[in-house]
Amino acid sequence: MWLYAVAVLLGLFLLRRWHRERQTVPRLSEKHVLVTGCDSGFGNLLARQLDARGLRVLAACLTEAGAAQLRAATSSRLQTVLLDVTSSKSIAHVTAWVRERVGDQGLWGLVNNAGIAIPTAPNEWLTKEDFVKVLDVNLVGLVEVTLSLLPLVRRARGRVVNVASVMGRVSFFGGGYCLSKYGVEAFSDSLRLEMRNFGVKVCVVEPGYFKTMITNTENLEKNFHSSWQKLPEEIKASYGEGYLRQFVAMLKLMEKSYNSNLSLVTNCMEHALTSLHPRTRYSAGWDAKLLYLPISYLPSALTDALFASFYPKAVG
């Protein structure tokens, strides 16, 4: 009997959530959304997706070539601007540019999507500068962009959507990427609490492994070999050439599980921007939902044993 009652309650809960999440923000065609990292990948697809839905998209690209390609593929509503999230001057310029366009209405949505993964390698193979390069884009840049534009988002009682990763829940490779995504999670959690009384909602999107420039196998392989070549002979001897070969082989094996349907991620971003009742967190992709999310709740001893079974073996 109690199992039946639990099933009924669960069904009612899911039905209520489905109904709430279908409710859409009114007058979307009047709302401005700034998306960073629009040259390619998730940001590029999201900009085109939101433009097709009628929103006023402000697409921030790193290169003029990326901006031109995006403008050619979208309506005249979409506007582009160049943004380097590691440059305070560039961020200040874009903030002023956005303020001119949104006016007293404010900025409805900010999507912090810009990110990089390279340099990445076993931690001992990297330098402080390697870590800083990734953190400056993925975390420090995200924080500065958010703080600079937050008054405009607060004026609109809008949304901040931060792109983290499943690697912000579990960390099994070295470099600044996982560190930065854990940081995005923490920043988003504190910001969400602070913005609650202002009517601003802060959402986190946690994609699994998707086929983007960040996961490009050729670039990652070159990065591994480059890091290896710079190592002192003592460290090379400790790991052995076999470790490098196994690491590259593991990367190519993981490539087979990459998901090429980027809309699974951009649909989450769009929902976070357009639903009256967005979720706090979105897990995008089957691996995020069924593998990494459950693993993140396991004891560390179990997750260590699981990941170690796939890890390359050093000479010692």
CA 122 to mean position of chain CA atoms: 22
Dist. CA 85–CA 37, nearest whole Å: 9
First to last CA, the chain: 58
Of the residues 4, 177, 209, 239, only one is catalytic, namely 177
Tokens of 275: 């639903």
Residues 51 and 301: beta-carbon distance below 8 Å? no
Angle at 19 between CA 108 and CA 270, to 5 degrees: 30
Check if 297 is active-site.
Answer: no
Q: What is the DSSP letter of 110?
A: E
Beta bridge partners, 58, equal: 34, 79
For the chain, give the number of residues: 316
Q: How many CB atoms lie within 10 A of CB 215?
A: 18
The catalytic residues are 177
